Chains A and B, each alone.
Chain A
Amino acid sequence: GESVGLHLPTLSVQEGDNSIINCAYSNSASDYFIWYKQESGKGPQFIIDIRSNMDKRQGQRVTVLLNKTVKHLSLQIAATQPGDSAVYFCAERDRGSTLGRLYFGRGTQLTVWP
């Protein structure tokens, strides 16, 4: 079955440094991946997505890399800021899913120190 997990439950970085958050998945039928950010007391918020026919996608200060060979997804945050402190989830969608159902990882807590 589908399995989405994260390599590290916590990550601490200094303000201004780059952050890399990793995610492993096991379902080779997954065709769409999303990174969500969840701040304390709030619901998950979309950050960036990537389709399985791509290996890299860039947003504002964020980059998602997809390595289908090893079933690995990463989120890179450039010049990390205190406001980036949150839990980050990856989610995947099975190509065979007709309703947009997503499977979520456990999340990584990112803490940014001034």
Chain B
Amino acid sequence: DADVTQTPRNRITKTGKRIMLECSQTKGHDRMYWYRQDPGLGLRLIYYSFDVKDINKGEISDGYSVSRQAQAKFSLSLESAIPNQTALYFCATSDPRQDYNEQFFGPGTRLTVL
């Protein structure tokens, strides 16, 4: 079973629609992240969360919001989707108890905004 899951895996929507992408993890990690990946570019951080009560903006948070409903769940919302938000979105987790902590990624959600 996957440790980090994302739903939906693919989504096509129209400009102006509100979209929610969901991430769940069974790794028991406190830290969770949302990234965006565009062709030819590396992963860019949208939001991250230390724990349930902590939410922080990443480098490209405009147009996005998040909710950390529980340790295991971290949702990303696009309040009013626009075409340049078409991208591959990844959720990741990490364990703060490890000094050098890798991030574990979900399978991604491919979002297309028409």
Contacts and interface: CB of A to CB of B under 8 A. Distances in A.
Contact of A45 (B43, B48, B105): B105
**Interface residues on chain B, size class:** 20 to 34
Interface in B58-114: 90, 92, 94, 96, 100-108
Contacts of B44: 104
**Interface residues on chain A, size class:** 20 to 34
Interface in A9-47: 9, 32, 34, 36, 41-46
A44 B103 CA distance: 9
A82 interface: no
A104 B42 contact: yes
Contacts of A99: 31, 48, 50, 56, 96
Contacts of B96: 99-100
Given A99-B31, A99-B50, A100-B31, A44 B43 contact: yes
Contact of A44 (B40, B41, B90): B90
